[in-house]
Structure formats: C-alpha cells, structure tokens
Amino acid sequence: MKFTADLSRAHQLDAQDELASFRDRFVLSDPDLIYLDGNSLGRLPKATVRHLGEAIEHQWGERLIRGWNEGWFQKPHELGAKIAQLIGAQPDEVVVGDTTSINLFKLVVAALRAYPGRKKIVSDELNFPSDLYVFQGVIDLLAAGHELELIPSRDTISIQREDVEATLGEDTALLALTHVAFKSAFMYDMEHITKLAHQAGGLALWDLSHSVGAVPLKLNAWDVDLAVGCTYKYLNGGPGSPAFLYVRRELQEQLMQPIWGWFATKAPFDFNLDFTPAEGMSRFQISTPQVLSMLGLEPALDILLEAGMDRLREKSVRQTEYLIFLAREWLLPLGFSLGSPLDSAQRGSHVSLRHPEGYRISRAMIESPPLDRDVATQAGPDRPGTPAVIPDFRTPDNIRLGIAPLYTSFTDIHRALGRMREIVTEGIYREYSKKRLEVT
Ligand SMILES: *Cc1c(COP(=O)(O)O)cnc(C)c1O
C-alpha cells in the first residue's frame, strides 16, 4: 500500500475502509477529541448505553432476584462462549469473571500444583509487571522452592526465539507470557512458542490482554493450554469490566484453582458442607458474578463478532503501517524513535514512539489547547480546532498510540501525528510540567 503524507490521502483511505461505518456504533461526543487509547480503555458502544439502562431498570428493578434464573447465572458461560469465538476456542473452554490478575493467580497455582516435580516459571522482561508480581506472590505463597526466570530482551522492544528456547528446560513447569507486550506491542508467534514449552514438558499460559479483539487468535489450533485476558481494552467492556480465562478442555478435570468459593462447586444451591469441584469451566469460577459489568460487555462483543477478527486485523495492520509511515516522515527527524517492531507480523495494534520529552509531549497532546492559547477561534467546519489527542504514556519515554480498528480512522492518525509534530516544533510541550500524574 502506497502512503503519502497529505490529508487527502487519509480521507481517501477512510473512504476505502469497509469497516468505517462501525465508528458510528460508538459514542463520539467531541469531534476534536482523537482517542488513541483504546488499548487501555475502549470506547463506549451506543448499544451498551441502552442495554445497561434497560438491564438496570427491568432486570434489576423489576425482576429482582428472579433474574438469576432468567439469565444471570449462566452469563459468565454465555459471554465466555462469545469470547471463545474471538480466540479460536470451544464455547465450553472460556468463562468470564473476576479480574485478569485474579484469573492469572488461579491458573498459575493450578498449573504449578499439577507439576509438583518442576520448579520453574518462565516469563519475560517485557511482561506487564502485575503479571510478574502475581508469579512472585504465588511462589511466596506455595513456599515449595519455585523460581521465576525472565527471558531477557536484547533491545527492550522484542524477545528472540533462541532466548526463549535457552530459558526453557526440564525444570520448567509453566511458560507464562503476554502475547502482545504492553509497552512495545511486540507480538510472539504463539503457536511456535507454545510448541517450545510443550517440548520442554511444561504448560503454556498466555495473557491475551493486549491482543484479544485486536489480533485473530487460534488457541485450539495452536494447542494453547491456558489463557487469561481483559475485556476493557480492545473488547470495549467498560472500566473494570470482568476478565476471562481459558482452559483447554482436556486439562479442565486435571486442574483445580485454589479459591474454593461456592460457584466452583458442583451444586452451589445444595449448600453441602464439603467442597466438591464442579465439572468443566465452573470450577474456575469463585463466587457471585459481577452481573451488571457483564451485561455492559455483551453488546460490545456482538459488535466485534459482527466486524470479524480477520477484517479488523487487516485494518489494524494498515493503520499501524500508516502511523509508522507518518512518524518517519514527520517525527523521527524531531528526536522521536520507534519503540515497536517494524515488522507487522511481530506487532500488535499499538505503536510506541519514544522521545526524551515523551511525558511532557503526551501532556500537551491531552490538554489541548493549552489554557493560554486562543486557538478555538480558528475553528470552523472547514478548519477543525486543535485536536486533543489521548495516547498514554509508559515510563520512561514511551508514548503509546493505540489503534482500535472498530473506531480509529486514518484521519484520526493523520491529525494526531500532525499535532505531535506541532507540539515539538513549536516547543508547546515546554509549557507543561514534568511532574507525573498518578495515572499515566
Ligand atoms: C491490562 C492488563 C492486565 C490488567 O490486569 P487487571 O487485573 O485487570 O488490573 C493484566 N495483564 C496485562 C498483560 C495487561 O495488559
């Protein structure tokens, strides 16, 4: 695909985009807000506003406790079956509930206890720190001599296959990795790496938080054992929406998670005094599901299924390539560097641009226009105002630009990078403080 840097090319790419109409399914209240943080918190689907409002009014308001037998009880499995379609799994291999970190804890304990003779968890230096903390906490809790070994990154962006191979060994119980790295968007070849874990005799667990809804996944075909993932990023489930977990069918009866709540039992409403684990995915649940949060996720999943993961990935690749093209034209000469893999086969759906002043530049992008600049008066139908651009910042110098192909347009990307160029060439970022906010 041939790109040029003029705005008319962005308009043309939008006109040719067969997924462009999905943008209208989302609440976009401010035309001058360019949202490139769908990889942290996805946008609100219009259908969710109606669906949740109606659920609160009628299901909770009128049906009250009867709601449990009218769909709530099965909701974690029903939504799990929808997510299964997005990740290439069977409907009875996925259940929704709890948070990603809690699900990770459950599955790591289950996996380590299934391999008592093996003492090593292998992960990597690019992993999301919360995942690494969970591993460390499990090791501390089990007090059985386990160790965590991290595969090093040679360039802080990617991980080499040979380094994965060299870290795995006969003592490996579990290889636990995040499919798409949160800072650099480096993406593993999940099929190949899973095979390496199996050759070493261990299980493979993948955190899909930065890939589900952005990249087609084939967990069954790739022989993946275990997975967790979050639903408030590319799945657009809303702040704090429940996570999911996947357990390959043949492993379900062999593994047991450590928090034995009543929803993990065979018959919660028999109220037996002794715990008997449920069959299938129910044993990986703990207790009462977060019903309203689950209902908030429902319409969002339907939109993704309608758009189709292959088409979404194709658009995402075209958009990250376009973003990198513009970055090379406009930003690399200004001191930015690319913090993501150049090869789209090794890249998820966001692009990191690094700059020594990354933090202040990101503040200037978000708080635009600055209070003492009167740019709003220049706005009009033909001349949009200075856009506020929302990326996120990841220490020390990464500005992450997330592409959510359901609602990101090529024009968004063009305007966002144009604004970044202006912020640096005009020194606008200098008006902002270096002091970091609590959430970046
Ligand atoms: C977003 C994300 C999480 C989120 O964990 P929570 O338990 O929902 O806070 C976990 N792991 C990875 C890799 C993530 O990107």
d(CA 391, CA 377): 25
What tens digit of pLDDT does each residue of 400-412 get? 999 999 999 999 9
What's the confidence (pLDDT) of residue 433?
86
Q: Is the pLDDT of residue 246 over 60?
A: yes
Task: Give me ligand 1 centre to Cα 178, in Å.
Answer: 10
How many angstroms from the chain centroid is the CA of residue 89? 18
Contact between 297 and 381 under an 8 Å Cβ cutoff? The reply is no
The 3-state secondary structure of the chain, one letter per residue: CCCCCCHHHHHHHHHCCCCHHHHHHECCCCCCEEECCCCCCCCCEHHHHHHHHHHHHHHHHHHHHHHHHHCCCCHHHHHHHHHHHHHCCCHHHEEECCCHHHHHHHHHHHHHHHCCCCCEEEEECCCCHHHHHHHHHHHHHHCCCCEEEEECCCCCCCCCHHHHHHHCCCCEEEEEEECECCCCCEECCHHHHHHHHHHCCCEEEEECCCCCCCCCCCCCCCCCCEEEECCCCCCCCCCCCCCEEEECHHHCCCCCCCCCCHHHECCHHHCCCCCCECCHHHHHCCCCCCHHHHHHHHHHHHHHHHHCHHHHHHHHHHHHHHHHHHHHHHHHHHCCEECCCCCHHHECCEEEEECCCHHHHHHHHHCCCCCCCCCHHHCCCCCCCCCEEECEEECCCEEEEECCCCCCCHHHHHHHHHHHHHHHHCCHHHHCCCCCCCCC
Q: Please tell me the residue having the least CA distance from ligand 1 atom 2.
A: 209
Average pLDDT over residues 367-396: 68
Average pLDDT over residues 172-181: 98
What tens digit of pLDDT does each residue of 334-371 get? 999 999 999 999 999 999 999 999 999 999 999 976 55
Flag the least confident range among 10-19, 349-358, 392-401.
392-401
Task: Give me ligand 1 centre to Cα 268, in Å.
Answer: 29
Q: Please tell me the residue having the least CA distance from ligand 1 atom 6.
A: 100
Flag the least confident range among 29-43, 131-145, 363-377.
363-377
Q: Which residues of 418-427 are buried (b: 16+ CB within 10 A; e: fewer)?
A: bbbbebbeee
Site to probe by mutation for ligand 1, drawn from 230, 234, 297 as the one with most ligand atoms within 8 Å of Cβ, is 230
What's the confidence (pLDDT) of residue 369?
66
Using 50, 70 and 90 to split pLDDT, how confident is the model at 1?
Answer: low
Structure tokens at 345: 């086969």
Cβ burial of 347 (10 Å; 0-12, 13-18, 19+) is: buried
Pairing of strands 94-96, 120-124: unpaired
d(CA 182, CA 245): 19
What tens digit of pLDDT does each residue of 286-329 get? 999 999 999 999 999 999 999 999 999 999 999 999 999 999 99
What's the confidence (pLDDT) of residue 435?
84
What's the confidence (pLDDT) of residue 2?
86
Using 50, 70 and 90 to split pLDDT, how confident is the model at 439?
Answer: confident
d(CA 182, CA 27): 26
Percent of all residues in the chain with a pLDDT value above 90, rounded to a whole number? 92
- State the closest ligand 1 atom to the C-alpha of 233, by its place in the atom list counted from 1: 1
Site to probe by mutation for ligand 1, drawn from 39, 41, 101 as the one with most ligand atoms within 8 Å of Cβ, is 101
Average pLDDT over residues 10-27: 98
Contact between 322 and 296 under an 8 Å Cβ cutoff? The reply is no
What's the confidence (pLDDT) of residue 373?
47
- State the closest ligand 1 atom to the C-alpha of 210, by its place in the atom list counted from 1: 15
The backbone region for 213, taken as left when phi is positive above 0, alpha when psi lies in -120 to 50, beta otherwise, is left
**Catalytic residue list:** 128, 207, 232-233, 400
**CA end-to-end span of the chain:** 34
Q: What is the mean pLDDT of the chain?
A: 95
What tens digit of pLDDT does each residue of 63-106 get? 999 999 999 999 999 999 999 999 999 999 999 999 999 999 99
Q: Please tell me the residue having the least CA distance from ligand 1 atom 4.
A: 100
The DSSP bridge partners found for residue 399 are 353, 393
- State the closest ligand 1 atom to the C-alpha of 99, by its place in the atom list counted from 1: 7
- State the closest ligand 1 atom to the C-alpha of 178, by its place in the atom list counted from 1: 13
What are the structural domains, with CATH classification, of the chain?
A: 7-46+308-431 (3.90.1150.10), 71-305 (3.40.640.10)
What residues flank ligand 1, with Cβ below 6 Å?
Answer: 99-101, 128, 130-131, 178, 182, 207, 209-210, 230, 243
What's the confidence (pLDDT) of residue 29?
92
Please provide the size of the chain in residues: 440
What's the confidence (pLDDT) of residue 386?
87
What's the confidence (pLDDT) of residue 28?
96
What's the confidence (pLDDT) of residue 381?
47
Task: Give me ligand 1 centre to Cα 96, in Å.
Answer: 15
Pairing of strands 172-178, 120-124: parallel
d(CA 31, CA 11): 15
- List Cα–Cα distances, 285 to 157, 254, 343, in angstroms: 35, 15, 39
Contact between 359 and 365 under an 8 Å Cβ cutoff? The reply is no
What tens digit of pLDDT does each residue of 123-132 get? 999 999 999 9
What's the confidence (pLDDT) of residue 420?
97
